[in-house]
Amino acid sequence: MQKDTIALHAGYDKTQGFGTMSVPIYQTTAYAFKSGEHAADLFALRDFGPIYTRLNNPTTDIFEQRFAAMEGGVAAVATSSGMSAIFDSIINVAEAGDNIIISDKLYGGTVTLCTHTLKRFGIKAKIFSSDDAKDLEGMIDEKTKLILFESLSNPQISIPDIEKIVEIAKKHNVLTICDNTVASAALFNPIKWGVDVVVHSTSKYTTGQGTALGGIIVEREGLNELISGNPRYYHFNEPDESYHGLVYSTTGLPPFTLRVRLALVRDIGTAPSPFNSWLLLQGLETLSIRMKRHSKNALEVAKFLNSHPKVKKVSYPGLENDEGCKKAQKYFKDGLCSGLMSFKVEDYETAKKVLNSTKIFSIVVNIGDSKSIITHPASTTHQQLSNDELKSAGISPELIRLSIGLEDPKDLIEDLKQALS
């Protein structure tokens, strides 16, 4: 099936139950088992079905199946937020004494997680230049557990050299994780380019209206070939004493997401609510349509900003003069570049004036909403970073980020024109 069809039908059999056209919300904590033997079989993985909503839920299960199909993956685990999806993905493979390699262009919360919070877990983060990945291979050692990057970075709006990153990772048998939140599953599928695991903050474009927090982890088919017998991931190949000696690489099931569910979501509790999963299913149905409109609107706004005398630089790969334009044409569906962009003005005071002068744009730190958003990253989403870290990440005080919504672009342009006057 094509994506537009997958988004409406995958994972749900409407001939079951009452035949509801809308996926039901199974708003429950627990489930009654058919017998004591049935309960034991479920916990021992001899049978499959809902056990407890922290582990699995029928509504969430449909969302996971549908999203995995949208990304071209084999399995998925939904989480309570995008940050929990990233955290679970990292600690699923890394432990004290290990290191991870992260892109120099990541969302500020991800940078803080990797360089500060995980440091207390004994996990070191190394930072590589994702634009060309020239320094990546030299950073890999026997303790490297993963390489993390964004397909379209927030807020630099930069596209990495995905092919080169994947090539180097495969050479050294290291797992790759791509945060595909900004590009979305509608415009880009990292798995088709060899990426092992894809994560999303489904709070963004997936829901589309800022109504639900959520995250998801998607695993590619055949990932067990990388994990099985690989000393980097020994814990997948040895008995897990916390789960009756289960060896994840020998179950015949997708090992990465299986361990996230059975070991991490079980213990840490990063599970989504069934109602949020239902809201995200509603958003997924119109994702492809919305991403086309977001991208079209964003390109018109970007062209306006690119010609404005008070704008020093616009970052949007849909522009022909953007350094990421060729990569966008190469990787993204029809060269569409999502609704996120950034631009620089003269200085911080000018940036503040623009933010405080807009009338349609709302000052909000979310992205991917149907309504347009304006943000000052250096003082909000990336405020935790030091001045050196901000400079290294390409985030300056005069940088403004826009998440272009579904309004008429003429109105958005007029709003920015008066704010810049």
Cα–Cα distance measured from residue 206 to residue 123, given in angstroms and rounded to the nearest whole number: 31
155 with 32, same domain: the answer is: yes
- The distance of Cα 2 from the centroid of its chain, to the nearest Å, equals 21
Q: Strands 373-375, 362-363: parallel, antiparallel or unpaired by DSSP?
A: parallel
- Alpha-carbon distances, residue 346 vs 125, 301, 349 (angstroms): 34, 19, 8
Query: Tokens at residue 91, please?
Result: 């600690």
Instruction: Check residue 319 and give its pLDDT.
Output: 97
Residues 177 and 263 in one domain: yes
Final residue belonging to a domain, choices 282, 301, 331: 282
Q: 199 and 299: one domain?
A: no
Residue 28 has a pLDDT of: 97
pTM over 0.75: yes
Provide the residue range defining the domain that includes 130.
3-282
The SS3 of residue 341 is strand
- Average pLDDT of adjacent 10-residue blocks, the chain of 421 residues: 93 91 96 95 90 96 98 98 98 98 94 96 97 97 98 95 98 98 98 98 97 98 98 98 94 97 96 98 97 98 97 97 96 97 94 96 96 91 72 83 98 98 93
Would you call 124 helix, strand, or coil by DSSP? strand
The confidence score (pLDDT) of residue 391 equals: 72
Does residue 335 share a domain with residue 201?
no
Look up residue 90 and give its amino acid: I
| CATH number of domain containing 391 | 3.90.1150.10
Give the model's pLDDT for residue 393.
72
Q: How many folded domains does the chain comprise?
A: 2
Tell me what pLDDT residue 112 has: 93
Same domain, 113 and 255: yes
